[in-house]
Amino acid sequence: MANNLPDLIFEKEFTKQESLPTEAIERANELLQSGRLHRYNNAPGEESDVALLEREFADYVGSKYCVALSSCGSSLYVALKCAGVQHGDLVLSNAFTLAPVPGAIEHAGAQPILVECGEDFCIDLGDLERQAVLSKAPYFLMSHMRGHIADMDRTVDICKQLGIKLIEDCAHTMGAKWGSRFSGTFGLIGCFSTQTYKHINSGEGGLLVTDDERVAAQAILYSGSYMFFDRHISKPDVKIFEEFKYIVPNLSLRMSNFQAALIRPQLRLLHQRVAQWNERYRVLEARLKQIPHIRVPERAQKENFVGSSIQFALEGLSGPEAEAFVGECHRRGVAVMWFGRQEPQGYTSRYQTWRYFNSVPRLEQTDHVLDFMCDMRIPLTFSVEDCGVLASIIENVMRSITR
Ligand X SMILES: Cc1ncc(COP(=O)(O)O)c(C=O)c1O
Residues from 267 through 296 that contact ligand X (CB under 6 A): none
Residue 196 CB, nearest approach to ligand X (Å)? 9
Q: State yes or no: residue 175 binds ligand X (CB under 6 A).
A: no
Q: State yes or no: residue 97 binds ligand X (CB under 6 A).
A: yes
* CA-to-CA separations, 255 to 80, 149, 222, in angstroms, rounded: 19, 27, 12
Q: State yes or no: residue 195 binds ligand X (CB under 6 A).
A: yes
Q: Which of 131, 185, 193, 348 binds ligand X (CB under 6 A)?
A: 193
Q: State yes or no: residue 115 binds ligand X (CB under 6 A).
A: no
Q: Which stretch binds ligand X (CB under 6 A): 80-88, 164-172, 258-266, 354-362?
A: 164-172
Binding pattern for the stretch 228-267 against ligand X, x by CB under 6 A and - elsewhere: ----------------------------------------
Using the minimum distance from each CB to ligand X, give the nearer residue, 167 or 393: 167
Q: State yes or no: residue 108 binds ligand X (CB under 6 A).
A: no
Residue 64 CB, nearest approach to ligand X (Å)? 23
Q: State yes or no: residue 100 binds ligand X (CB under 6 A).
A: yes
Q: Which stretch binds ligand X (CB under 6 A): 126-134, 157-165, 166-174, 382-390?
A: 166-174
Q: State yes or no: residue 223 binds ligand X (CB under 6 A).
A: no
Q: State yes or no: residue 169 binds ligand X (CB under 6 A).
A: yes
Using the minimum distance from each CB to ligand X, give the nearer residue, 115 or 398: 115
Phi, psi of 220 (to 5 degrees): -65, -45
Q: State yes or no: residue 101 binds ligand X (CB under 6 A).
A: yes
Residues 6+ apart with CB under 8 A from 75: 67, 69, 191, 192, 206, 207, 208
Q: For the chain, give the secondary structure using H, E and C.
A: CHHHCCCCCCCCCCCCCCCCCHHHHHHHHHHHHHCCCCCCCCCCCCCCHHHHHHHHHHHHHCCCEEEEECCHHHHHHHHHHHHCCCCCCEEEEECCCCCHHHHHHHHCCCEEEEECECCCCCECHHHHHHHHHHHCCCEEEEECHHHCCCCHHHHHHHHHHHCCEEEEECCCCCCCEECCEECCCCCCEEEEECCCCCCCCCCCCEEEEECCHHHHHHHHHHHHCCCCHHHCCCCCCCHHHHHHCCCCCCCCCECCHHHHHHHHHHHHHHHHHHHHHHHHHHHHHHHHHCCCCEECCCCCCCEECCCCEEEEEECCCCHHHHHHHHHHHHHCCCCCEECCCCCCECCECCHHHCCCCCCCCCCHHHHHHHHCEEEEECCCCCCHHHHHHHHHHHHHHHHHHHC
Binding pattern for the stretch 125-154 against ligand X, x by CB under 6 A and - elsewhere: ------------------x-x---------
Residues 6+ apart with CB under 8 A from 150: 122, 123, 125, 142, 144
Using the minimum distance from each CB to ligand X, give the nearer residue, 234 or 349: 349
Using the minimum distance from each CB to ligand X, give the nearer residue, 210 or 259: 259
Q: State yes or no: residue 93 binds ligand X (CB under 6 A).
A: no
Q: Which stretch binds ligand X (CB under 6 A): 25-33, 98-106, 109-117, 220-228?
A: 98-106
Q: State yes or no: residue 340 binds ligand X (CB under 6 A).
A: no
Residues from 21 through 50 that contact ligand X (CB under 6 A): none
Q: State yes or no: residue 168 binds ligand X (CB under 6 A).
A: no
Q: Which of 31, 72, 113, 261 binds ligand X (CB under 6 A)?
A: 72
Q: State yes or no: residue 184 binds ligand X (CB under 6 A).
A: no
Q: Which of 92, 171, 176, 219 binds ligand X (CB under 6 A)?
A: 171
Kindly list the residues in this chain that would bind ligand X in the complex (CB under 6 A).
Answer: 71-73, 97-98, 100-101, 143, 145, 169, 171-172, 193, 195, 206
